[in-house]
Amino acid sequence: MTALTLSTAAASGLRADAIVVGVAKGPKGPVVAPGAEAVDKAYDGRLAGILETLGASGAEGEVTKLPAPSGFKVPVVVAVGLGAVPEQDDTYDAEVLRRAAGAAARALAGAKKAAFALPIADPADAGAVAEGARLGAYAFDAYKETGNGAKNGKAPLAEVALIGGKPRDAAYKAAIARATAVTEELNRARDLINTPPNDLNPESFAAVVSAAGKEHGIKVQVLDEKALEKGGYGGILGVGKGSAAGPRLVKLSYTSAKATKHLAFVGKGITYDSGGISLKPAGHNETMKCDMSGAAAVFAAVVAAARLGLEVNVTGWLALAENMPSGTATRPGDVLRMYSGKTVEVLNTDAEGRLVLADALWKASEEKPDAIVDVATLTGAMVLALGNRTFGVMANDDAFRASIVEAAEEVGEESWPMPLPEHLRKGMDSPTADIANMGERMGGGLVAGLFLREFVGEGITWAHLDIAGPAFNESGPFGYTPKGGTGSAVRTLVRLAELTAAGDLG
C-alpha cells in the first residue's frame, strides 16, 4: 500500500517521479493554489497561463501533466483541479483536497514516488490529502495476470511525500497516523467487497476477521450453523439454508480500559445474493458479491477503532450468509422464528438482508449498548431515491440521525436523513405471522427501516444506514473512489466512534 511521509524539502530538490500541485478555477481562468509557489516561480510565474494553454480550467478532478521546470529533479508536474477558488480568507475544504489527491494518485499509477504540494493549512488538511492519495491509489488486480497490485499493467503509486507538513509536529504526525489506519482498513474492506463469491463465503469471511482480531487484539467469536441452530437464529439460518456454504454470525469486541460508552455496529454480510427462490433476473445479479459491503464496513471500522486506540467500546456484529436457491432454500410463504422470538412471514426471499440483520440487531441489543448503528446494502428503493453516491440514514431518534449525517459530512461521505413514516408499518401486517418481510412497494427503503426497528431493544438508540447506492461503483472512478467496492460508511462509523470517545455524541 502507498507509503506516506511528511517532507520539508524544497520542491526543486526533492527526488521523485512527479510533483503534484493544485489549480483552482478563477473568474478569469485557472489560478495556482497555495503550496505550489516554488513551482510557479520556477515557471517565472506563468504556470497558470501554461496550464490554460494546455486546456486546463481548474475544474474539480481535472488532471494535467506537463514537463517540470528547469532545475527541478522531478521530471513531471501534475496539476490537479480543485474547483472554484475559495471565498476570501477561506481555505480549501478537506473533501476538495481529498478528492484532488485521489485523482492525482490514480493518474500516477506506475510511479514509485510523488511529492504532493497541495494547499495544506493545518494537520486536518494534511490528513485529508493523505487519505485521498492512499484511497485514490487503490487497485484490486489480485485475479489478473499482472498481479501484485498492478493497475492496467502499472502498480499503484508506491510513495507519497506531503510537502508543507511538519514532520516533528505531534498534531501532523497524529493526522498521518490516523489517515494510515483508516485508509488501510477501508482498503481492506474494498478488497473483501471485490473478492469473487467463489472465494469469499461466510466461513472464509469469518476466517479473515479472526486473523485480523489476533493481529490487533480484538476478541472475535464466530457462531457456525450448529451454534446458530442451538441459539435459535431463524433469520440468519433461513437465509443461508439454501447454500452449501453455511451462515455465520461473527462478533468483534474492541474494549478500552478508559471507555465510558459502548457502540454496537451491525453489518449485513450476504456474500452472494442470487435472490434465493425469488431469483433476481439477469442484469441484476452480476455485482451481488457486493451485498456484504455493510459487514465489510463494520469490520473495517472496528479494526480502525482498535488501531487508533479510541476510548470507547465498539462491538461489531457481522451477519454472514449466502442467499441461494435450492431444494433446501426458504420459500416465499415460509414463516421463520427469529432470534427475538418474533415470527416473520417471508413473502420475498430477495428481501433477505433485513432477516439476517434482525437476528444480529436483537443479539446486539442484549448487551444494552448506548447506541446501535446497522449498515447494509439493503434496498434498490434507496438507490432510486438518492442515487449512486448518497446513503440514506434512518433512526428512532432524530438527534442521533442528525449527528450521523453531520459525522458523514465531516469525513466527506454523502448521506441524507430519511423518515420512518408510521403509516407504512401496517403494510407489513401478516395474517400468518407477527410481521411480513415485505410491505408497500412505494417507499420500500423506509419500509425496510421500519422492519429493522422492530428488532431493536427497547430504549436503545438506533440508526440504519442504507448504503445500496454508494457501496459499489459500477461507473468509472472519480476522485478517490475506484470502480468496484468503495468502502462506503467506514469513515462515518470511525468518526462516530471518535465523537463518542470524546463525549461529543450522545
422: how many CB neighbours lie within 10 A of its CB? 8
Residue 192 main-chain phi, psi, to 5 deg: -65, -45
Tell me the β-bridge partners of 318: 250, 267
Q: Do 361 and 443 touch, CB atoms closer than 8 A? A: no
Spatial CA neighbour of 79 closest among 58, 64, 95, 61:
64
d(CA 413, CA 492): 7
d(CA 351, CA 170): 49
Q: Which residue pairs, CB below 8 angstroms and at least 24 apart, start in 501-506?
A: 501/256, 501/259, 501/261, 501/310, 501/311, 501/312, 505/371, 505/403, 505/407, 506/261, 506/370, 506/371, 506/400, 506/403, 506/461
**Per-residue DSSP letter, 13:** G
- Helices 170-194, 123-136: crossing angle, 10 deg rounding: 20
Spatial CA neighbour of 454 closest among 371, 313, 343:
343
Distances (CA, A) of 229 to 139, 203, 299, 348, 444: 39, 16, 24, 22, 30
Active-site option among 46, 166, 173, 280: 280
Active-site option among 98, 188, 307, 354: 354
**Per-residue DSSP letter, 151:** B
Q: Do 289 and 276 touch, CB atoms closer than 8 A? A: no
Active site residue 248: no
DSSP helix/strand/coil, 289 = helix
Q: Do 357 and 363 touch, CB atoms closer than 8 A? A: no
Distances (CA, A) of 489 to 56, 195, 209, 332, 451: 33, 19, 18, 32, 21
d(CA 445, CA 442): 8
d(CA 504, CA 448): 29
Active site residue 112: no
- In 195-292, where does DSSP find H-type helix? 202-216, 225-231, 234-240
Q: Do 187 and 135 touch, CB atoms closer than 8 A? A: yes
Q: Do 39 and 19 touch, CB atoms closer than 8 A? A: yes
Which residue bears the cell 493518474?
107
Tell me the β-bridge partners of 115: 19, 161
Spatial CA neighbour of 212 closest among 264, 254, 256:
254
Spatial CA neighbour of 357 closest among 241, 437, 254:
437
Task: List the catalytic residues.
Answer: 280, 354
